[in-house]
Amino acid sequence: MIKPVGSDTLQPLFVYDPDEHHTLSHEAESLPSVVISSQAAGNAVMMGAGYFNPLKGFMNVADAMGAAETMTLTDGSFFPVPVMCMIDSAAAIGTAKRIALRDPNVEGNPVLAVMDIKAIEQVSEEQMRVMTEKVYRTTDPEHPGVAAFNSQGRTAISGPIQVLNFSYFITDFPDTFRTAVEIRNEIAERGWKKIVAFQTRNPMHLAHEELCHMAMDRLGCDGLVIHMLLGKLKPGDIPAPVRDAAIRKMVELYFPPNSAMVTGYGFDMLYAGPREAVLHAYFRQNMGATHFIIGRDHAGVGDYYGAFDAQTIFDDEVPAGALEIQVFKADHTAWSKKLNKVVMMCEAPDHQKEDFVLLSGTKVREMLGNGIAPPKEFSRPEVAQILINYYQSLN
């Protein structure tokens, strides 16, 4: 199986030993504590689950700036985005060297992790501007990722962490949330050697489904891991439970047995386009995938990124040898009226725009809200019915 990034074996930060977990949980209740941001909580979950291997905890400002500017930490290791814990004030910490980090997304703010503090630093507005610009390629406050990143405090606390739970993900999505450890174990149990991963924050239309089949066929893969984001999205995006149901129905009906796993991970979407594509590839390698599909405008939002920036960044900016996972570069896929099948648009040079079945997201939402299924060339009817039920429930 492919090695994790930066180590021979996966080193998740979750405390799995029951006795140690009990002792640490008891200690945490007596420690000074801070409620962290949702973005920091997602970072803790990803470290606990092994996806951010081999990070040991939250980055200090120097490492965060290195990740933002060159994707290289001060020790020379590779990481594509800052992983920070920024709070409004360190007053509650005082002189403590060990604190509890509390979950902002669960009622009662239970302890999510325990941190050994190595540094408490102020992040300047110039440093925030540089990190924002480098990671998101914009400082526009209307960009949802920029808004979330900059809404955090300016006091960065850093140091190694021990993770005690996986926030709401394991309770709200018990059939879908999986750690990188669990996915690696299941890949081994299934006997898969070559695995392609597909990222989604939306239900999968027919074009997405066919793109997965194309990648599996062309790469000669044993299996597909559909890996959906379960964390916070921007307003208007379809909730994770609805997306989960739609994807599971598609896999049940249209994929051969033992060819696809439906899984999810606990993280808030960054909408960082190219840089987030690199992060996605990073943690897909950690979960055991050998290949990763990156299509048009991957992890993008609005008009902030070029259609294929999320592909070219791997050639132009990712340091050589940083990742072993291979990228399957895909164009936009759509149903060809001429060929009566889904194709990559770049592979149909004799086609005009009107030769494809193309529907805007706005048009699809309008149809679903009115109880009308999109054409079968766009969406599987069984999937469309799940989405119709959801949109009509909003009325």
What residues act catalytically? 201-202
Token pair in block for residue 17? 């030993």
Backbone angles phi, psi at 24, to 5 degrees: -70, -40
Give the type of residue at 301: V
Size (the chain), residues? 395
Please say whether the beta carbons of 185 and 269 come within 8 A.
Answer: no
CA distances from 395 to 32, 322, 364, 385 (A): 45, 48, 16, 16
Give the type of residue at 252: E
Distance of CA 128 to the CA centre of its chain: 22
Distance of CA 73 to the CA centre of its chain: 21
Give the type of residue at 57: G
Please say whether the beta carbons of 323 and 282 come within 8 A.
Answer: yes
What is the dihedral angle through the alpha carbons of 30, 31, 32, 33, rounded to the nearest 10 degrees? -100
Tell me the angle at which helices 274-286 and 125-136 cross, rounded to the nearest 10 degrees.
80
Please say whether the beta carbons of 141 and 194 come within 8 A.
Answer: no
Task: Determine the Cα–Cα distance for residues 214 and 228; give it in Å rounded to an integer.
Answer: 19
* β-bridge pairing 155-163 and 111-116: antiparallel
Task: Determine the Cα–Cα distance for residues 306 and 36; give it in Å rounded to an integer.
Answer: 33
Please say whether the beta carbons of 188 and 1 come within 8 A.
Answer: yes
Task: Determine the Cα–Cα distance for residues 325 and 284; give it in Å rounded to an integer.
Answer: 8
In sign, the C-alpha dihedral spanning 279, 280, 281, 286 is: positive
Cα within 13 Å of Cα(318), Cβ side: 26
Please say whether the beta carbons of 146 and 140 come within 8 A.
Answer: yes
Task: Determine the Cα–Cα distance for residues 308 and 277; give it in Å rounded to an integer.
Answer: 11
